[in-house]
Structure 1
Amino acid sequence: DPYQGAAAATYAFENLGFKKAAVLMDMTNDYAVGLSSFFSRSFKKLGGEVVANLKYSSGDQDFTAQLTELISKKPDIVFMPAYFAEGAIIMKQARELGATFRLMGADAMDNPDTVKLGGKAAEGFLHTTFPYDPKMTSMSPEAKRFTEAWKAAYPDKETNVNGALGYNCYFLIVDAIKRAGSAEPQAITRALAETQGLPTALGKLSINKSHDAEMPVGIIEYKNGQRVYVGEVTPR
């Protein structure tokens, strides 16, 4: 989440050119609180301004007060790391109130029901995700190998990012065993911790000092009722 929050801020500031952001978060959800904090910190560090930081609680259905205040602050983009059900309600109410700012979420919005529930209000909505999509235009050799292997094994099922994650985990361990030259657990553990720039189906992967995986972050945009993979961003 530190990496994902920073990636969302980087995309908003550098790729979209937005200088004023706001945050709308579920204060009862650690996922939302953490991501909101990392987004705000990174957006300010890049040179942007966070003009509002508003809160709600899980289960809320009326976001009129928060959205009215957000409209008055005139941000270019509002970061709302919600789950898809509440996120869809926020989208609809924002558009009903005439909001013109962009809305951006995180990977909890990566669900087919986001566009089903959001309808026309989901148009232009952005969210971060893992850097893989079967329809991505700039597919790496590793992603192509995964996609082709999946199609051969499961011809009746469309591939997805969770399949790519499992595939990555397997080859991350295989790579560590090869570099360790041993099947001894402590040797594999050391090799895993030293992983840097490993080409994978989800881009180049490195393990940082906290033992978290770092790789590019994917960006989804909803266009004409469709989920469109628009590219990757590496956070700064």
Structure 2
Amino acid sequence: MKKILCIALVLIFAFGALAGCGSGGTNTTPSASPSASADGSASPSASGGAANGGTIKIGILGPLTGEAAQYGIAVSHGAQLYIDQINDAGGINGKKIETVVYDDKGDPTESVNAFSRMVDEGITGLIGPVTSKPTLAVVDEALTYNMPLITASATAAAVTYNADTQTVNTNVFRTCFIDPFQGEKMAQFANDVLKAKTAAVIFQTGDDYSVGLKDAFVAKCEELGINVVDQEGYSKGDKDFKSQLTNINSKSPDVVFSPNYYEDDGMLVTQARQAGIKATFMGGDGWNNVSKYASPADLEGSVYCSGYASGSTDEIKAFEAAFTAKYSGETPDMFSAQAYDAAIVLLDAIKAAEEKGLEAGSDDYKAAVIDAMKNTTSVGLGGKYSFDEYNNPIKSAVIMKLADGKETFSQMF
């Protein structure tokens, strides 16, 4: 009888221990893909405590590995910096912000799958995705849940506005410029500042970002009277642009608009100079960090549109110092800064929902966050934020110029 009693007690304690493992423990953030934090360590959990309603979960989604990882890591770091600063200051309404970070590898399917897991884990808002195609894929899912979403870097116009149905994606915002805005700005700059009369374009076919900027640039040039003498396309993965650049050189344009990403743009400029092209090269915000991919001599005088100018204000200098201190000397870029701003806008909106006494993650809570984002008075690194009727930011463009191998602030335009 004593033996049976002992066995029973052992079983009771065993089941109790298992129950303790299944609930009431510390809620930790999953690792990317499942997920790693952008610096390669375990993804941080900002909660520091049990999942008992004392935390608010925010998703950060983007490519932490793969060819677009430079952008994803920059975004993740920028957003996490501000979230950590808020947590260090006591959180929001006494609650800490817990980040759920996933790596989508820049792939739309991976991005949708990661978002679904984030929803299951109880996020109440999302920063990301990073590039346009994954963001467009996630937007459809986010609409289903009315999930507050703000991207720091997805520039395709369709992210916030569905032209087919002529409807605004009311839950989706961004802190970056849209593709048409950048293309139009650079055409205007070519006309007003560079006094260009002729232009050529070289772009990646099938890429939403590249094609979007190209189309807007060409249309604006036609409106301004700039003759677009050549439009050359290339395929993803191409390394040899001799044929396209030879065609462009034969037309002797004043400017060449290259609305692609930094690595391709570096190769294009290098090969263009080898082909004898003397024109001023121009680009969009995908040129950020292009100085690492071409020589100072080849890049000299090139200009691109950006949303960020390093060291241009006291606020930006403070951000840069905090970023460098947190990430072991790493230098922030435009994507880091725009992600920092995205976190400001989202967390300010969450604060507004908290002040209403709503339950984090509920439908009413998410609606309150979205309403606060639409009517934001947040002040980011680029100044006070507001959004137009399509949830795109209203702010001036920064023109960056390549001089002596450095990407330097030229002017606001």
- Shorter-normalised TM range: 0.7 to 0.9
1:224 matched to 2:404? The reply is yes
Of 317, 339, 349, 1:166 maps to: 339
Task: Indicate the structure with greater strand content.
Answer: 1
Equivalent residue, structure 1, for 2:395 = 215
1:185 matched to 2:366? The reply is yes
Unaligned runs of 5+ in 1: none
Check whether the contact 1:109–1:127 (CA below 8 A) recurs between aligned residues. yes
Compared with structure 1, are the counterparts of its residues 121 and 177 closer, same or farther at alpha carbon in structure 2 (3 Å cutoff)?
same
Q: Aligned equivalents of 2:348 and 2:318: distance in 1?
A: 16
Superimposed CA distance per residue, residues 32-91 of structure 1 (whole angstroms, 9 cap, x where no aligned partner): 111111111222233422222121112223222222221222221111112223222221
Superimposed CA distance per residue, residues 169-223 of structure 1 (whole angstroms, 9 cap, x where no aligned partner): 2332355467786464323312322347x54212443212222223222222211
SS in 1 for 2:319: helix
Of 61, 65, 89, 2:267 maps to: 89
Equivalent residue, structure 1, for 2:380 = 200
SS in 2 for 1:210: coil
Check whether the contact 1:79–1:104 (CA below 8 A) recurs between aligned residues. yes
Equivalent residue, structure 2, for 1:54 = 232
Calculate the TM-score normalised by the size of structure 2: 0.49
Cα RMSD (Å) of the superposition? 2.7
Equivalent residue, structure 1, for 2:285 = 107
Q: Which residue type is aligned with residue 385 of structure 2?
A: L
Compared with structure 1, are the counterparts of its residues 190 and 45 closer, same or farther at alpha carbon in structure 2 (3 Å cutoff)?
farther
Q: Give aligned-pair identity as a percent.
A: 31
Q: Which residue type is aligned with residue 262 of structure 2?
A: F
How do residues 13-28 of structure 1 correspond to structure 2 at under 5 angstroms? Answer: 13-28=191-206
Calculate the TM-score normalised by the size of structure 1: 0.81
Q: Which residue type is aligned with residue 292 of structure 2?
A: K
SS in 2 for 1:24: strand
Q: Aligned equivalents of 2:334 and 2:271: distance in 1?
A: 30
Compared with structure 1, are the counterparts of its residues 75 and 205 closer, same or farther at alpha carbon in structure 2 (3 Å cutoff)?
farther
SS in 2 for 1:53: strand
Check whether the contact 2:309–2:408 (CA below 8 A) recurs between aligned residues. no
SS in 2 for 1:118: coil
Q: Aligned equivalents of 1:187 and 1:122: distance in 2?
A: 47
- Per-residue deviation, 1:22: 1.6
Compared with structure 1, are the counterparts of its residues 20 and 195 closer, same or farther at alpha carbon in structure 2 (3 Å cutoff)?
farther
Compared with structure 1, are the counterparts of its residues 159 and 49 closer, same or farther at alpha carbon in structure 2 (3 Å cutoff)?
same
SS in 1 for 2:385: strand
Compared with structure 1, are the counterparts of its residues 145 and 61 closer, same or farther at alpha carbon in structure 2 (3 Å cutoff)?
closer
Q: Which has the higher contact order (CA 8 A, sep 6+)?
A: 1
1:30 matched to 2:211? The reply is no
Equivalent residue, structure 1, for 2:319 = 146
